[in-house]
Amino acid sequence: MIPSLFINHGSPLMALQESDYTRFLEETGRRFTPKAIVVFSAHWEERVTTISFAEGPLATIYDFGGFPDELYRLTYPAPGDPKLAARIEQMYSGHGIQTRRDDKRGLDHGSWIMLRYMYPEANIPVVTISVNPFQTAAEQYRIGEALRGLGEEDILVIGSGTTVHNFNYIKFGQTDAEPWAEQFDDWLIDKVERRDLESLFHYAELAPYASRAVPRAEHFIPLLQAMGSSDSSDAVQPVLLYRGYQFGTFSYTCFEF
């Protein structure tokens, strides 16, 4: 059995850098050998939950601009898995969740940058799923919950996002975390580790500095989706895998569910 993960995909520049965090990604990849990977990416937004049906090798999407030319030469040609995508479609249908297919979508940087470190050979099939930041937190959890059981088949579900993500408060060159960013993550870690879903579903009202940490929900909700997809029994407790900060506020907090 493979747990679900919430992983910070980092900035595009992370693909060109070696750091304590990229070494953590490499080590995490060595811990698990999945048959396939399912990614909820913060960088793919659709009003209706959309599933990638592309067969592959999947195109590398450079959904950013103004970076070094070297970055645009990197690729991650992992195979797709239409058969798994169809299975996921059926799982959603069984839970009354509407879906759509995308037969061409490749891997945006919310997927390929972290996967290059975790599984550099790009030989594991990947299916990506869109996010909708306008749904409630409870609905986000339910979208993940519909996929519960995939981990028992050695399919790795990853929520790819960031707990604290606000470009208006980034402080370039600052290595220490801003206290408000730490306070938000302190609250979040406590609620996640205790599986306090009622509080998590109302994080926007209850968490300190929530509106500053999560000005828009697209990077936060993959955490709820990954958590929903995991085993919810008392025997399986969420684990904080990594905590760190860049530019004062950009959080690298990661969880295993």
Give the model's pLDDT for residue 172.
86
pLDDT tens per residue across span 237-256: 899 999 999 898 999 999 99
Task: Return the number of other C-beta atoms located less than 10 Å from residue 136's C-beta.
Answer: 14
Rounded distance between C-alpha atoms, residue 169 and residue 213, angstroms = 9
pLDDT tens per residue across span 181-197: 999 999 999 999 999 99
The first and second tokens of residue 58, run together, are 């999947």
pLDDT tens per residue across span 19-28: 999 999 999 9
Give the model's pLDDT for residue 141.
97
pLDDT of residue 231 exceeding 80: no
- Nearest by Cα to 22 from 165, 162, 120: 120
Give the model's pLDDT for residue 100.
98
Average pLDDT of the residues in 48-52: 98
The angle subtended at Cα 195 by Cα 190 and Cα 198, nearest 5°, is: 95
pLDDT tens per residue across span 98-153: 999 999 999 999 999 999 999 999 999 999 999 999 999 999 999 999 999 999 99
Give the model's pLDDT for residue 136.
97
Give the model's pLDDT for residue 98.
98
H-helix segments, 130-255: 137-145, 179-193, 197-201, 203-206, 210-213, 221-228
Give the model's pLDDT for residue 170.
82
What pLDDT band is residue 234 in, cutting at 50, 70 and 90?
low
- Calculate what percentage of the chain has a pLDDT beyond 70: 99
- Nearest by Cα to 219 from 155, 163, 169, 144: 163
**CB within 8 A of 87, min separation 6: which ones?**
none
Average pLDDT of the residues in 212-236: 90
Place of tokens 């940490």: 213
Give the model's pLDDT for residue 167.
84
pLDDT of residue 232 exceeding 80: no
What pLDDT band is residue 233 in, cutting at 50, 70 and 90?
low
End-to-end Cα, the chain, rounded Å:
12
Rounded distance between C-alpha atoms, residue 60 and residue 191, angstroms = 35
Of 45 and 17, the structure prediction assigns the larger pLDDT to 45
pLDDT of residue 235 exceeding 90: no
Rounded distance between C-alpha atoms, residue 248 and residue 213, angstroms = 12
Of 162 and 170, the structure prediction assigns the larger pLDDT to 162
User: How much is the pTM?
Assistant: 0.95
Map out the domains of the chain as residue ranges. 5-256
Rounded distance between C-alpha atoms, residue 137 and residue 14, angstroms = 29
pLDDT tens per residue across span 53-103: 999 899 999 999 889 999 999 999 999 999 999 999 999 999 999 999 999
The first and second tokens of residue 69, run together, are 């030319």
Domain 5-256 in CATH 3.40.830.10? The answer is yes
Burial (0-12, 13-18, 19+ Cβ within 10 Å), 216: exposed
